[in-house]
Structure formats: C-alpha cells, structure tokens
A and B are shown apart, each in its own frame.
Chain A
Amino acid sequence: MKHVIIGNGVAGLTAAETIRRMDPDSELTLISDETFLPYCRPMISHLLEGAVPAEKLPIRGKNVYAQNRIEPVLGARATTLDVDRRVVTTADGKTHAYDRLLLACGADPRQIDAQGRDLENIFFMRTVQQVRQMLAVLPEVGHALVLGGGLVGFKAAYSLLRRGIAVTMLIRSGYPLSMQVDETAGRMIQAVLQANGLTVRTGASVEAFEGNGRVRMAHLSDGTRVSCDMAVIGKGVFPAHGFVPADRIHTDAGILVDDNMQTSVSGVYAAGDIAEHMDIARQRSWVNAIWPEAVSQGRVAGMNMAGEIVSYRGSLSRNVIRVFDTDVMTAGRVSPRDIDETCRQFSARDLRRNIYRKLVFSDNILVGFAMINDIEQGGALTALIQSRRPVEVEPERLMEPGFNIGRLMAR
C-alpha cells in the first residue's frame, strides 16, 4: 500500500502518524511546499509579537520524518492530480503514484483587489516565512495598517501593538470579529483594543496602496488616506484546492468529504482547513478551519486510510483569544448572520467586571455561545453543543458566575 499526503500541516502530520501507528509496512510520502518542520501555525502571531522564538514553533522533533518512516518531499508544490492514473505531479515535474491520497493542503490567504498591491511591506500572515519577513522590516515600521477585523487581522494587530507599533485596523463591517461574536461582544473587544492604542476604522476598505517601492500610504474607499509603512492583509482564507480536478472531486467552498473523510473519488481523502463536512451547530455542510478540527480530521482520515473504518462526527467552529488581559471565547452560532427565527438568545453582562455571556439555543439545544472573561467553564458549554443534548435547566443558570458542569448533573 502506498500512501501519499499533500500538506505537512497538523492535519497531514496527524494523518501520517496515525497511518504509521496502524500500518507499519505501508509506504508513506509527505509532499509539502513549506520546508520548515511541522509547526504550530497559530503561534506565528506569537512569533510576530516576540513572545516566542521561532525554535519553539515546531510541534515535533527534528527526526519526525525518520521516526515515522515518512519520505518527505519538501519545497514541492503539487500542481496536478490525475485521479484515474492515481498520480500527483509537483511543480518540478516529478510524479508521485499513490494507492491512497490525502489532501491536507490547508488554506491560502484571500487576495485583495487594490492597486499597488505588490509594493514592499505588504504581507499576508499565514506562514512562518511570512512572519520572518515581517520581523525583518519591523525596525523601520512606525505605523502599520491591518486589513480585516477577523481572527488573523485581530492577532496581527495585537502582536504589532505589543511591539509598540501604532496600528490602524480597517474593518468592513461594524465591529471586530463579526463572524464570531455578536455586536455587544464585538464592541467590548473593540473598546479593549482602543484603550490599548489601536485605531479602528469601520466601513472602509483599501482601494489603492501608494509608495516608492515600499508602501507609504493607503487610499480608502471613503476617500480618506492613511499613511503606513507596513500593511497586513487579513481578509480571510480559502481552501487550497486549486489544483484538484473539480469535475471529479466534488467541491463546495471546501472539498466535500463523507463521514470517513473520503472525497467523491474512492481512495482520495481530505482533512483540515481544505475539507468541508457537517457542522454540528449549523447542521449543514461547512468548512471549520480551526486547529482542533484539523487534528481530529487528520486522525480519522489516517485511520480510514490505514483500513480501520471509523466515522467523524462533524465539526464545530470555535475560538479563544486572549488580548490585554481580556479573554474571548466563542463557539457555534453567535454572529447575527448565523441566527434565524428558530433561535432563542440569552445574554448577561457585568459591566463592573467586564464580563459578558451570550447563549444561543435552537429549540432547547445549545447551538452557540460567546463569553468575555471568566472563560474557564467554556469547555462544558462546547461539549453541550457537541452533544446536541436537549438542555432543560434554565438558560440563565448556565450564565451564572458559579456555573460548573455539576450544575448539569443530577446525583
């Protein structure tokens, strides 16, 4: 049996380790265009902040490939996939035949449509290499512009502020993290960032960058200008399946997979940010591009590829962010765009302690929550969403300060 995995992110690596554990004899090739050891992608913002050195990023030791008898093909981008001949071709023209293939290519940052986009000091923040490039120019940066108030834009802005750099954040919608939280939480988060020096501009986007080789100025859609010597584009990501034959492998936003993480083509699997499966809270097909789901999906894909038929039970969007002593945790459906007429919403706020709670139910099933501060019990709520168990204690009790899982258990 010959296994080929494309992508050495956490989904690909977890799958490779799982296959090796269950099937000591098969051949295992891992193709990836990143050459860095498998690393913790979310931690690149900590690298930008200066909170951790690059040596702390790898999630496995130096001999991870040898230990697992994986043949690494690094610095190689897969460019074509022939599902009839079962062959992957990389940019250098080399071919890799497989019996089973895993697509674990993650996602690429979304490009923006603005003049002057190719000026220097305009960055994406997806890879360790991109952050290293940012670090190289930071000494000459006084004012940074961050495009997008989503998770990545948010983390970039925070890291740069911590470096003592003035940051302006441009958000198209009305408040930060609008995909993750409701307006009340969004405004609370915005207030914290502003209190720490962030300038937030809402309802505007960049139409053009200007500069002499290097970016100096951004022209906005509202006719104003912002001077900046660096820009970070955080306008979301899209699954990296450009080279996958869409006429053969069914794709929506992501590559559609069944409960065994298999695509519409037998023997071809997908896992991680590239894959689309059932969302537990939304009860529909969805891409949840987060680390813990990439791990779970990689594991399930690996088991199935090794011949152990197991099922994945769906994904749940969730995130936790800590900025300036303020903690934000969200899961499932909270953003107004995820709310419909079947939803019952409950919220509670303690202004003095800057605590906020929001619960969203569909009938009597918890489908989403947002918490600001005192987040330790958030996992109990996440588990409640994942279980889809009807909740029959009053929703208010789940928002009380002393809430713990014991509140849900009868003796």
Chain B
Amino acid sequence: MKQVIVHPERCVGCMQCMLACAAAHSKTGSLFTAIAETPKPRPRIHVGAGLYDEGFPNRCRHCDPAPCQMACLPGAIYRHSRTNTVLIDPDVCINCASCAMACPYGVIRYHADPLAPAGKTVAVKCDNCVARQHRGQIPACVEICKVGALTFEERDRAMKRRTEEVARSATADAAPPEQAPGFSLLHTVKKARTEINLAR
C-alpha cells in the first residue's frame, strides 16, 4: 500500500503543499475559486520552522495505534483500512480538543471546514486525500512538491518501524512482551538521542 512519506531534509519551505492541500479540500477544488469560498479552505499540512529555522513539513502520520483515536471522546476518529488512513467524522466530532492533547506531532487544527456541517467547528487533519485516491489521483501535497520532500510510495520496513516507534513512545499503551517497557523505553531514548538535537 502506498503512503505519503515526508523527507524533511529536502524541504525548502516553499509552502506550495499547503496551498495545494487547501485547494484539494475546498468545495470547488481549484485554487483560483477556493480563495473566494466560505469557510475559507485551510491546509491540513503545515510547514513550520525546524530547529535551525529550516522548512519543516508536518502532517498526520496515521499512526497505528493512533493516540488521537484512543483519546477521542465521542469516537469520531477511525481508521480507513484500505488506505491505512486515520479519519475524523465531522458529524460526530464535538470539538473537545482531546486529540490535540494526544497527537505527538501537533497536526490537528480546529475550524469550520467545507466538508463539515455548515458553521460547525471541528477537528481537521490530513485525510491522505482519500477522495482523490479514489479517483486514481495521488495526494495533492505530493503532486505539487517539486523537491521530493513529499513522496507517495510503498513504505519500506524501516520507515514503518520508525513511525511506529514514535507512535508507541508517545502512547501510554501496550508494547509486545519482547519489547516490554524497559527495553522499548531504552530503545526510544536511544532513537530520540539521534532524532532530537542534544547538542544545544
């Protein structure tokens, strides 16, 4: 199954992905008409500044298990298994922000959305462009990215393992016995030392 893979080291911070994402999730589907819509279409991918103020593309990792899904009070968050996508049902969402507290990546936003009931503020995040994928298209952010910071490909085992480790380290949840707390925590700390800048 193909997945969007983020390569932050290649990001130049141009923010084209944000525009493409907002347009893809607008009513009209085109950037030129989307800007006149209400509610204003907003991106579900966020380019922020990294440690050295470099571009840092941040989007939902669709963790498994997903901490947001386990924290969701009304049960609005679920997994679409065919595309391995964590989705939020805007009809069920109560805008309680429990998912904001659970998401280790900080990729969930709260606002009115063209795909939600009119006037309702809901939790909004990346949906892997499931609608586009259904039409045979690739996710909009990947299509627009010209520097290869976002790719859509079979995720190799290493990549998958990495995401799961972060997800697991960030969830107060079960670890399989051979990776019981002591071990997995050590492992996480070791990984964290390479991922998190400890030099400063």
Which stretch of B80-88, B102-110, B151-159 is in the interface?
B102-110
Produce 1/0 per residue, A380-394, CB < 8 A to B.
101100111110111
Pairwise interchain contact B101-A404, C-beta atoms closer than 8 A: no
**Within the complex, which residue of B102, B106, B185, B194 is in contact with A376, where a contact is CB–CB below 8 Å?**
B106
Produce 1/0 per residue, B1-44, CB < 8 A to A.
00000001100000000000000000000000000000000000
Report chain B residues within 8 Å CB of A393.
Answer: 51, 197, 200
**Within the complex, which residue of B75, B175, B176 is in contact with A59, where a contact is CB–CB below 8 Å?**
B75
Q: Chain B's nearest CB lies how many Å from the CB of A355? A: 15
Q: How many residues of A contact B (CB 8 A)?
A: 59
Asked whether A406 and B56 contact (CB < 8 A) given A292-B98, A320-B98, the answer is yes
Pairwise interchain contact A407-B100, C-beta atoms closer than 8 A: no
Report chain A residues within 8 Å CB of B200.
Answer: 392-394
- Nearest chain-B residue to A408 (Cβ)? B196
Asked if A135 is an interface residue, CB under 8 A from chain B, the answer is no
- Nearest chain-A residue to B92 (Cβ)? A56
- A314 to B71, alpha carbons, bound, how many Å? 16
Asked if A87 is an interface residue, CB under 8 A from chain B, the answer is no
Asked if B50 is an interface residue, CB under 8 A from chain A, the answer is yes
Produce 1/0 per residue, A286-329, CB < 8 A to B.
00000111011001100100000111111110111010000101
Pairwise interchain contact A299-B173, C-beta atoms closer than 8 A: yes
Contact size range, B: 35 or more
Asked if A375 is an interface residue, CB under 8 A from chain B, the answer is yes
- A78 to B97, alpha carbons, bound, how many Å? 35
Asked whether A56 and B70 contact (CB < 8 A) given A51-B94, A409-B51, the answer is no
Pairwise interchain contact B105-A380, C-beta atoms closer than 8 A: yes
B99, B109, B170, B199: most-surrounded residue (chain A CB, <10 A): B170
**Within the complex, which residue of A300, A319, A406, A411 is in contact with B49, where a contact is CB–CB below 8 Å?**
A406
Report chain B residues within 8 Å CB of A329.
Answer: 97, 100-101
Q: Chain A's nearest CB lies how many Å from the CB of B138? A: 24
Asked if A150 is an interface residue, CB under 8 A from chain B, the answer is no
- A322 to B99, alpha carbons, bound, how many Å? 13
**Within the complex, which residue of A43, A299, A311, A376 is in contact with B181, where a contact is CB–CB below 8 Å?**
A311
State which residues 58-83 of B face A: CB under 8 Å: 58, 67, 70-71, 73-75
- A411 to B195, alpha carbons, bound, how many Å? 7
- A393 to B27, alpha carbons, bound, how many Å? 42
Q: Chain A's nearest CB lies how many Å from the CB of B42? A: 12
**Within the complex, which residue of A331, A390, A411 is in contact with B8, where a contact is CB–CB below 8 Å?**
A411
- A43 to B74, alpha carbons, bound, how many Å? 8
Pairwise interchain contact B102-A382, C-beta atoms closer than 8 A: yes
Pairwise interchain contact A299-B174, C-beta atoms closer than 8 A: yes
Asked whether A406 and B100 contact (CB < 8 A) given A46-B94, A309-B177, the answer is no
Asked whether A292 and B172 contact (CB < 8 A) given A404-B46, A406-B48, A406-B51, the answer is yes
Q: Chain A's nearest CB lies how many Å from the CB of B7? A: 10
- A314 to B98, alpha carbons, bound, how many Å? 19
Report chain A residues within 8 Å CB of B48.
Answer: 402, 404, 406-407
A280, A295, A319: most-surrounded residue (chain B CB, <10 A): A295
Pairwise interchain contact B196-A382, C-beta atoms closer than 8 A: no
Pairwise interchain contact B174-A383, C-beta atoms closer than 8 A: no
Q: Chain B's nearest CB lies how many Å from the CB of A394? A: 7
- A318 to B172, alpha carbons, bound, how many Å? 12
Asked if B96 is an interface residue, CB under 8 A from chain A, the answer is yes
Pairwise interchain contact A402-B174, C-beta atoms closer than 8 A: no
- Nearest chain-A residue to B172 (Cβ)? A296
- A409 to B181, alpha carbons, bound, how many Å? 23
Report chain B residues within 8 Å CB of A310.
Answer: 174-177, 180
Asked whether A300 and B192 contact (CB < 8 A) given A43-B94, A402-B49, A406-B56, the answer is no
Pairwise interchain contact A387-B192, C-beta atoms closer than 8 A: yes
Asked if A226 is an interface residue, CB under 8 A from chain B, the answer is no
Pairwise interchain contact B171-A296, C-beta atoms closer than 8 A: yes
Pairwise interchain contact A407-B51, C-beta atoms closer than 8 A: yes
Report chain B residues within 8 Å CB of A402.
Answer: 48-49
Asked if B118 is an interface residue, CB under 8 A from chain A, the answer is no
- Nearest chain-B residue to A410 (Cβ)? B197
Report chain A residues within 8 Å CB of B176.
Answer: 310
Asked if A259 is an interface residue, CB under 8 A from chain B, the answer is yes
Report chain B residues within 8 Å CB of A311.
Answer: 174-175, 177, 180-181
Q: Chain B's nearest CB lies how many Å from the CB of A42? A: 5
- A362 to B100, alpha carbons, bound, how many Å? 24
Asked if A197 is an interface residue, CB under 8 A from chain B, the answer is no
Pairwise interchain contact B58-A404, C-beta atoms closer than 8 A: yes
Report chain A residues within 8 Å CB of B75.
Answer: 40, 59-60
Pairwise interchain contact A331-B101, C-beta atoms closer than 8 A: yes
Asked whether A59 and B74 contact (CB < 8 A) given A293-B172, A387-B170, the answer is yes
B100, B104, B172, B188: most-surrounded residue (chain A CB, <10 A): B172
Report chain A residues within 8 Å CB of B101.
Answer: 318-320, 329, 331, 375, 378-379, 382
5 A-B residue pairings within 8 Å (CB atoms): A40-B74, A56-B92, A292-B70, A379-B106, A408-B51
| 9 extra A-B contacts, CB within 8 A, seeds A299-B174, A389-B196, A392-B198 | A40-B73, A43-B73, A296-B171, A320-B96, A375-B100, A386-B172, A387-B188, A392-B199, A410-B197
**Which 8 A-B residue pairs are closest in the complex by CB-CB distance?**
A406-B56, A383-B104, A410-B197, A406-B50, A383-B170, A379-B103, A377-B106, A404-B48
